[in-house]
Amino acid sequence: MIIKGIKQLFKKIKTKLPDKRNFIFNFIKKNSVCCEIGVWKGEFSELILKKNNPAKLYLVDPWKDFGENYFDKKHVKYRQENQNQRYNLVNKKFKKNILKKQVEILKMTSQEAFSELENIKFDFIYVDGNHQYDFVKYDIDNYFKLLNESGYLIGDDYRIDAVQKAVNDFIQTYKPKNFFVKNDQFILQKN
């Protein structure tokens, strides 16, 4: 009971604080072609829409329960009924944007979405899907190629060891023009 109350209080405080990712939008050009890998309840997607007013925003998430060992967080959060609720919420939240074709939802993994997106050039790709090494490495290796010349690939949770290792291994091989970390976000700039 007390723990639930404290959790709710933290949640309330968190929603009142400015998003730690606001700074990203200082260097992403307005009306960009964007993609978010890992959407959850669409909270960061809302921020992209508000701050960037993208020409197009692709939202990639399977909203699927892949079982115990797939996620780095508590499995209960990913039970299919919870995933369904989040998928429905996101569809509802962005109904108008979907109708005017500003937002497109790809209900699939980033691996499955790749063939749908591989001919598009992106200004901004946000990587925040499965946080285990192989998945993060896959997302960065493959989606970085889809950036246009001045594009940015940014990802969340750099504090997590697996994420950090995937990013560092990527940098060793691809040597992007720019790499820095701020507020737990890793920022990779193409050219």
Ligand X SMILES: C[S@@+](CC[C@H](N)C(=O)[O-])C[C@H]1O[C@@H](n2cnc3c(N)ncnc32)[C@H](O)[C@@H]1O
Residue 130 · residue 38 · CB < 8 Å: yes
Contacts of 156 (CB under 8 A, 6+ apart): 21, 126, 127, 128, 163, 184, 185
Residue 39 C-beta: closest distance to ligand X, Å: 6
Distance CA 191, CA 185 (A): 19
Residue 69 C-beta: closest distance to ligand X, Å: 12
Nearest residue (CB) to ligand X, 61 versus 123: 61
Beta strands across the sheet bearing 33-37: 103-106, 56-60, 33-37, 122-127, 147-155, 185-189, 178-182
Residue 149 · residue 190 · CB < 8 Å: yes
- In the complex, the residues that contact ligand X under the rule CB under 6 A are 36-40, 43-44, 60-63, 109-110, 128-130, 135
Residue 23 C-beta: closest distance to ligand X, Å: 15
**Which residue's C-beta sits nearest to ligand X?**
38
Nearest residue (CB) to ligand X, 54 versus 129: 129
Distance CA 42, CA 103 (A): 12
Nearest residue (CB) to ligand X, 62 versus 151: 62
Nearest residue (CB) to ligand X, 36 versus 123: 36
Residue 2 C-beta: closest distance to ligand X, Å: 27
